[in-house]
Amino acid sequence: MTYKQQDPVVQAAADWWVRLREADAGGEVIEQWLEWAGQDERHLETFERLNELAERLGGLDQVSRQGLIRAFARPAPPQRRWFPLAAAASIAAVMLSGALYVGWTHFAVVVTPQVVYQSGVGQNREFSLPDGTKVALGAASRLSVKYSNDQRSVEITDGEAYFNVVHDDRRPFVVTIGNMTVRDIGTAFDVRRTGERVTVAVTQGRVAISSRRLQVRPHSTLEATAGQRVTYDSDKSNFVVDIVTPAQATAWRQNRLEFIDEPLSVVVANLDRYASKPVHVADADLNALSYTGTIRTDAIDSWVDALPEVFPLRVSKQANGIVLSDARHATR
């Protein structure tokens, strides 16, 4: 392989090398670089040769970008070699607190990045993953993504996310939520995590859902299809399946929180992801009250004010939040 001085791949590799070393480079920069590296076998090979050059030239930080390209634009060795991406890996470890490893196998490039996405209170986000899978991330939510040659792994640690998955039989799309896993079978689905309670609503296709806690029992994995909602509660250690419409499953994307026969504790916990002031349930016996209905995220105060008409509770608004207490206690 012979590189020309104005070779666009060489130019791009040099640009990426510099961008990854900039102080303000973050997770999005590394994600974009990984996508670029996976587009063509030559991209990563060129970048690896660049890192080899960087190791040989200890004072490379003081060399101009154009000088770097001129030094780099020379014939490559006749045989493919593997070069450790020390500089990029170090940057990734610092910025993402995760592992970034890029290397050669006999047949393909192995890329196993870990990138974290998160959102603030009252803030929904939408983005695409490197394979084209579209993700809508609910407010106050957090997930991490790690792709390899044999699997696309996502872990949800908090909140809610909706996935429109690009199906790939060779690399299954697997979402982990605590003790549960959801495996795509050509799917669009919503996952909501509230502590150890997990709800999966399928809007298109099918998913296979399993729990590590149930693996020693029969029927520990079930297949859910479009229009079904599966709820798993670690306290009960079982799956509950009911019906849900796509509009109900994704209502939060239109600023509506939909609940179907769910404990008040779950309702309040999800409400807090959107509320300007946190809502706290003071009496534990209120947590088990069941609620079905819709809450607009732009009218949370109105919903809270109306609660005493539905439940035997009192609402106390304080400077640091809203407290719900059992009205029955005051009459005893």
Q: What is the DSSP letter of 201?
A: E
CATH topology of domain 255-330: Phage tail protein beta-alpha-beta fold (3.55.50)
134-161 b/e (C-beta count within 10 Å ≥ 16 → b): ebbbbbbbbbbbbbeeeebbbbbeebbb
CA dist., res. 12 & res. 69, Å (int): 10
List, in order, residues 6 or more apart from 322 with CB less than 8 Å away: 275, 277, 278, 279, 280, 304, 315, 316
pTM of this prediction?
0.67
Specify the pLDDT at position 291. Answer: 94
CATH code for the domain defined by 115-248: 2.60.120.1440
Q: What is the pLDDT along the chain (332 residues), one digit of tens a residue?
A: 444 445 788 888 878 877 776 656 566 777 787 788 778 878 877 877 776 666 555 444 444 445 544 555 544 444 443 333 443 443 343 333 333 333 333 333 444 457 899 999 999 999 998 888 999 999 999 999 988 878 899 999 999 999 999 988 888 999 999 888 999 998 999 999 999 899 999 999 999 999 876 544 544 688 999 999 999 887 766 789 999 999 999 999 999 999 999 999 999 999 999 999 999 999 989 998 999 999 999 999 999 999 999 999 999 999 889 999 998 875 54
List, in order, residues 6 or more apart from 207 with CB less than 8 Å away: 182, 183, 184, 185, 187, 189, 200, 223, 224
Specify the pLDDT at position 16. Answer: 80
Contact predicate 143/156, CB 8 Å = yes
Specify the pLDDT at position 302. Answer: 94
Domain ranges of the chain: 8-111, 115-248, 255-330
Specify the pLDDT at position 98. Answer: 33
Strand, helix or coil for residue 291: strand
Specify the pLDDT at position 330. Answer: 56
